[in-house]
């Protein structure tokens, strides 16, 4: 049976982005908008619909241009019989006109309606694209936003669609997303059930930032960047100064035009504030516009901006006003990544030119340019001598580069930075980047920086008191679960949801979430109530939980969001526990118990891994949610020895792809005796501050250009489909995989793991033991190479392993949920005996002998 395609054919600014997001939320595949825009530019304006029709084979749902343009829907209807069409509309044509005109004014016209010249020079897609876009409305060049003509176009376009589909109510829906029951109409039309009650509100015109062209406007956007977490999700910097929220950084919303001549004019006239504003606007633009390759105009755009910025920035005459300095230092990671995208490579030359200048007068410039990519060394103590407050801010910002450790110099510099301590370090910023990134950088010394952050947070918030005398709700003790990652395909949810479900009958469960008031992406079904803690002016509002009645505060993870780290350092409840959602000890937060797995932890010295008291559940210490992805291959299929390359899956985030791991892969490629293709899946980690191209280039320096592919962030089904094409999967070290190993075993792929002494580099190996494949566990680099080479060279052995995996009941071994029973027993035991346990002192692990 053919899959029904859905085409959203309403005009732009009628909710097309929101309806596309609604489709994604329901699991539909939505066409790549950037590709659609390129096709619009190349073919629609020439009247050639064939490539557009072919492109529609790539997904199930399509929206925005060219699908919102006149006549397109007719060609699609003929090409894909049985498809369904959705016309999104506004309350009236006047409302639509105001919205599109305001949107373009802020995006392209510096707050005013763009002129034809503005439209011709706009660089969105390419110069001229926006001009062609507005020409669709039929307006003249001397008045491109003529209201009467645009309103008439909107009404005629909608009427033409209504007339075309007037006798086909089953194939067509006209909908105004602002109407009360519109979402219910939408899901009824699709014939699906939805856990949501309303449309997401995407691309609100009021949130689009205008082009910043002077210092006064820049002050309104003091904290210029949103932060992107290691999975590509957006949230505001924690404890920064009044951050201003922008739109999704993966979709450029800020117009920017770089003009070298204008910079020269500003410099000649001494207008350094305008230069600063322009540079910062450029960094905002490039932090949002993520490149996966650089060609043609895009390459020229990046190269010219970087060249001009570095040339003028180090000029002694160019002076930053004090109110800009902190914003420039905050740009350190994007400066480093942009330089790495060009032949310049890094800012060494420019730092060397400045080294003889007084640090006090040039500190902002040094801290903007000095990143892990630099081979030039600067004594950190001298930076703190010059200005301890600003150097402290830079110290934290530097950690945002933790995904760059594929490069050997970055790797060593990050380690050195982590180990550096200075009594003059004041506040910490971007604490999740430090807390989370530290273990990838240096799993031996990570506890030092985490301990310092914990102590700082506890001092900073010592004045906050909590009244948490346990009060049962309906006779049940109250448990607060702190998580902003409680969604179906997030790793934290995949490993912890069965545990929380086991508590439902005997405890009153409250989900505490802190990143957004929107709960549509969170699974709240297990909870009796949800509480949102907002952050006015960037400061977490704890008032809703200071008088709480909680018996237990449970953290599925500590470290993956900044506010989880803060709350883990507060005495919110009498009993505080955390799980292995982020599988590293807090090393000094106010957490009493750490729930982990007896089968995974090392048989001796487990207490050395934790500052908390370990609770050793029989099994893994987690329950893997069962994977819904349906395999396409149910028998082992292998590529022939000759000619074709053997595909090796490397499902590693960029922070797992450290230089030492790349050297092992290089050795495999050299010694394999057959052609290999390493496929990297870094997920959203490379979307941060345009880090994709620098990461690819770092890998290429080790592996060459032909033996690997790096995929940008993929939806889960696409990722699993590509993984299924691999012959085997190999794990990373020192931070190994958990869910990625589960993914690989679900696909029945021979999987090599690398075991260490911590849960995060032992869980994969224990999963292999559970299914009788201990022979695929390495404990040293030499074993890793030896086992890998055998998997690569010995086709019969690899086939034998694949047949073994096919014969195994993976679902009832890897995805067994019996650990949730043990979790509930341990939880009950701790609640009943906490006061006695607290009196014991020390952190002797609790085992099944205690709670069984």
Whether residue 167 is found in the same domain as residue 73: yes
Q: Of 471 and 245, which is predicted with more confidence?
A: 471
The answer to whether position 469 is within a domain reads no
Q: How far is CA 664 from CA 271, 645, 782, in A?
A: 52, 18, 9
Whether residue 486 is found in the same domain as residue 578: yes
**Secondary structure of 558-619 as H, E, C letters:** CCCCHHHHHHHCCCCCCEEEECCCCCCCCCCCCCCEEEEECCCCCCCCHHHHCCCEEEEECC
Which distant-in-sequence residues (6+ apart) come within 8 Å of 804 by Cβ? 771, 772, 773
Whether residue 711 is found in the same domain as residue 764: yes
Instruction: Tell me the average pLDDT of the chain.
Output: 88
What's the whole-number mean pLDDT along residues 10-30? 89
**Secondary structure of 74-113 as H, E, C letters:** HHHHHHCCCCEEEEECCCCHHHHHHHHHHHHHHHHCCCCC
Place of tokens 């237990």: 552
pLDDT computed for residue 65 by the predictor? 92
Last residue of a domain, one of 617, 633, 665: 617
Whether residue 580 is found in the same domain as residue 658: no
The whole domain housing 772 covers 646-812
The answer to whether position 837 is within a domain reads no
What's the whole-number mean pLDDT along residues 74-88? 95
Q: Say yes or no to pLDDT of 770 above 90.
A: yes
Structure tokens at 596: 């982990």
pLDDT computed for residue 96 by the predictor? 92
pLDDT computed for residue 539 by the predictor? 83
pLDDT computed for residue 112 by the predictor? 63
The answer to whether position 695 is within a domain reads yes
Maximum Cα–Cα distance for the chain, whole Å?
83
Whether residue 777 is found in the same domain as residue 802: yes
The answer to whether position 75 is within a domain reads yes
Q: How far is CA 564 from CA 440, 509, 560, 777, 790, in A?
A: 19, 18, 7, 33, 43
Whether residue 171 is found in the same domain as residue 257: no
Whether residue 166 is found in the same domain as residue 214: no
| CATH at residue 89 | 3.40.50.300
Whether residue 13 is found in the same domain as residue 35: yes
**Is 0.85 topped by the overall pTM?**
no
DSSP 637: -
The H-or-E segment that residue 19 falls in is helix 16-25
| Residues of the chain above pLDDT 70, percent | 91
Whether residue 245 is found in the same domain as residue 286: yes
Band (7; pLDDT cuts 50, 70, 90): very high
The answer to whether position 272 is within a domain reads yes
Q: Say yes or no to pLDDT of 641 above 90.
A: no
Q: Alpha-carbon distance 783 to 790, whole Å? A: 11
Name the strands in the sheet holding 777-778, side by side, starting at the edge strand that comes first in the sequence: 708-710, 676-680, 646-650, 728-730, 751-754, 777-778
Which distant-in-sequence residues (6+ apart) come within 8 Å of 154 by Cβ? 11, 93, 96, 97
Lowest mean pLDDT, pick from 3-12, 166-175, 514-523: 514-523
Whether residue 10 is found in the same domain as residue 142: yes
114 alpha carbon, distance to own chain's centre: 33
As for how many domains the chain has, the answer is: 4
Whether residue 327 is found in the same domain as residue 194: no
Give tens-digit pLDDT for 685-740.
888 899 999 999 999 999 998 899 999 999 999 999 999 999 999 999 999 999 99
pLDDT computed for residue 125 by the predictor? 74
Lowest mean pLDDT, pick from 66-75, 233-242, 316-325, 779-788: 233-242
What's the whole-number mean pLDDT along residues 307-330? 94
Q: Within a 10 A sphere around the Cβ of 188, how many other Cβ atoms?
A: 12
Q: Of 475 and 563, which is predicted with more confidence?
A: 563
The answer to whether position 1 is within a domain reads no
The answer to whether position 622 is within a domain reads no
The answer to whether position 697 is within a domain reads yes
Instruction: Please state the φ and ψ torsions of residue 554, each to the nearest 5 degrees.
Output: -115, 130
Last residue of a domain, one of 174, 205, 236: 205
What's the whole-number mean pLDDT along residues 735-760? 97
Lowest mean pLDDT, pick from 146-150, 229-233, 304-308: 229-233
Band (10; pLDDT cuts 50, 70, 90): very high
| CATH at residue 572 | 3.40.50.11380
Q: Say yes or no to pLDDT of 109 above 90.
A: no
Whether residue 54 is found in the same domain as residue 200: yes
Give tens-digit pLDDT for 774-804.
999 999 999 999 999 999 999 999 999 999 9
Q: Say yes or no to pLDDT of 458 above 50.
A: yes
**Secondary structure of 508-556 as H, E, C letters:** EEEEEECCCCCCCCCCCCCCCEEEECCCHHHCCCCHHHCECCEEEEEEC
pLDDT computed for residue 246 by the predictor? 28
Band (111; pLDDT cuts 50, 70, 90): low
What's the whole-number mean pLDDT along residues 208-219? 27
Strands 708-710 and 777-778 come out as unpaired
Q: What 3-state DSSP class applies to 767?
A: helix
Give tens-digit pLDDT for 346-399.
999 999 999 989 999 999 999 999 999 999 999 999 999 999 999 999 999 999
DSSP 476: B
| CATH at residue 671 | 3.40.50.2000
């Amino acid at each position: 049976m053919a899959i029904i395609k859905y085409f959203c054919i309403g005009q732009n600014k009628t909710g097309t982005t929101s309806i596309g997001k609604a489709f994604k939320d329901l699991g539909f595949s939505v066409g790549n908008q950037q590709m659609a825009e390129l096709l619009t530019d190349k073919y629609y304006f020439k009247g050639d619909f064939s490539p557009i029709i072919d492109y529609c084979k790539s997904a199930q749902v399509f929206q925005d241009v060219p699908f919102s343009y006149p006549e397109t829907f007719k060609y699609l209807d003929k090409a894909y019989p049985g498809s369904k069409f959705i016309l999104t509309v506004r309350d009236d044509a006047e409302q639509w006109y105001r919205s599109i005109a305001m949107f373009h004014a802020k995006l392209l016209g510096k707050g005013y309606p763009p002129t034809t010249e503005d439209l011709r020079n706009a660089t969105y897609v390419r110069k001229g694209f926006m001009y062609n876009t507005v020409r669709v409305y039929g307006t003249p060049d001397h008045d491109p936003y003529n209201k009467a003509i645009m309103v008439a176009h909107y009404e005629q376009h909608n009427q033409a669609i209504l007339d075309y589909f007037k006798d086909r109510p089953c194939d067509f829906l006209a909908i105004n997303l602002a109407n009360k029951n519109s979402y219910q109409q939408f899901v009824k039309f699709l014939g699906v059930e939805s856990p949501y009650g309303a449309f997401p509100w995407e691309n609100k015109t009021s949130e689009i930032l205008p082009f910043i062209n002077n210092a006064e406007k820049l002050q309104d956007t003091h904290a210029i960047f949103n932060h992107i977490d290691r999975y590509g999700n957006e949230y505001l910097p924690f404890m920064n100064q009044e951050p201003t929220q922008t739109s999704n950084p993966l979709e450029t919303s800020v117009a920017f035009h770089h003009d070298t001549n204008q910079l020269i004019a500003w410099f000649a006239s001494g207008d350094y504030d305008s230069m600063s504003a322009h540079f910062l606007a450029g960094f905002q633009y490039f932090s949002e516009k993520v490149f996966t390759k650089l060609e043609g105009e895009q390459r020229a755009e990046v190269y010219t901006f970087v060249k001009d910025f570095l040339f003028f920035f180090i000029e002694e005459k160019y002076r930053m006003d004090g109110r800009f300095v902190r914003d420039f230092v905050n740009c350190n990671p994007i400066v480093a990544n942009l330089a790495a995208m060009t032949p310049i490579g890094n800012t060494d030359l420019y730092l060397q030119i400045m080294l003889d200048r007084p640090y006090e007068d040039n500190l902002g410039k040094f801290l903007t340019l000095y990143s892990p990519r630099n081979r030039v060394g600067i004594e950190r103590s001298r930076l703190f001598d010059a200005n301890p407050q600003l150097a402290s801010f830079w110290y934290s910002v530097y950690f945002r580069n933790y995904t760059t450790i594929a490069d050997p110099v970055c790797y060593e510099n990050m380690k050195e930075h982590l180990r550096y301590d200075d009594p003059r370090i004041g506040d910490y910023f971007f604490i999740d980047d430090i807390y989370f990134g530290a273990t990838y950088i240096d799993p031996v010394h990570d506890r030092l920086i985490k301990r310092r952050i914990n102590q700082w947070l506890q001092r900073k918030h010592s004045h906050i008191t909590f009244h948490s005398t346990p009060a049962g709700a309906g006779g049940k003790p109250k448990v607060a679960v702190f998580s902003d990652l409680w969604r179906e395909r997030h790793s934290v949810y995949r490993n912890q949801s069965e545990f929380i479900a086991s508590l439902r009958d005997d405890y009153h469960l409250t989900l505490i979430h802190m990143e957004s008031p929107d709960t549509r992406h969170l699974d709240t079904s297990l909870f009796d109530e949800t509480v949102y803690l907002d952050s006015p002016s960037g400061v977490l509002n704890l008032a809703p939980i200071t008088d709480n009645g909680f018996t237990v505060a449970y953290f599925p993870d500590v470290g993956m969001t900044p506010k989880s780290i803060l709350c883990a350092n507060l005495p919110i409840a009498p009993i505080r526990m955390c799980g292995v959602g982020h599988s590293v000890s807090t090393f000094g937060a106010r957490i009493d118990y750490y729930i982990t797995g007896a089968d995974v932890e090392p048989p001796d010295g487990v207490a050395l891994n934790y500052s908390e008291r370990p609770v050793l559940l029989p099994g893994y210490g987690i329950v893997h949610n069962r994977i819904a992805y349906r395999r396409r291959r149910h028998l082992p299929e292998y590529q022939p020895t000759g000619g074709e390359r053997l595909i090796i899956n490397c499902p590693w985030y960029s922070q797992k792809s450290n230089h030492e791991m790349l050297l092992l892969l290089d050795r495999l490629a050299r010694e394999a005796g057959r052609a290999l293709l390493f496929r990297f899946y870094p997920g959203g980690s490379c979307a941060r501050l345009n880090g994709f191209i620098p990461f690819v280039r770092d890998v290429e320096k080790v592996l060459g250009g032909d033996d690997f592919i790096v995929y940008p962030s993929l939806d889960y089904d696409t990722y699993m489909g590509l993984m299924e094409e691999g012959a085997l999967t190999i794990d990373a070290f020192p931070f190994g995989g958990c869910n990625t190993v589960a993914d690989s075993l679900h696909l029945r792929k021979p999987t090599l793991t690398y075991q260490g002494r911590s849960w995060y580099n032992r869980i994969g190996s224990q999963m292999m033991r559970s299914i009788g494949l201990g022979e695929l566990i390495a404990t040293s680099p030499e074993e890793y190479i030896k086992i890998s080479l055998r998997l690569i060279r010995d086709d019969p052995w690899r086939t034998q392993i694949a047949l073994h995996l096919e014969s195994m009941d993976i679902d009832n071994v890897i995805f067994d949920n019996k650990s949730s029973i043990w979790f509930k027993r341990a939880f009950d035991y701790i609640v009943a005996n906490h006061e006695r346990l607290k009196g014991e002192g020390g952190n002797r692990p609790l085992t099944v002998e205690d709670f069984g």
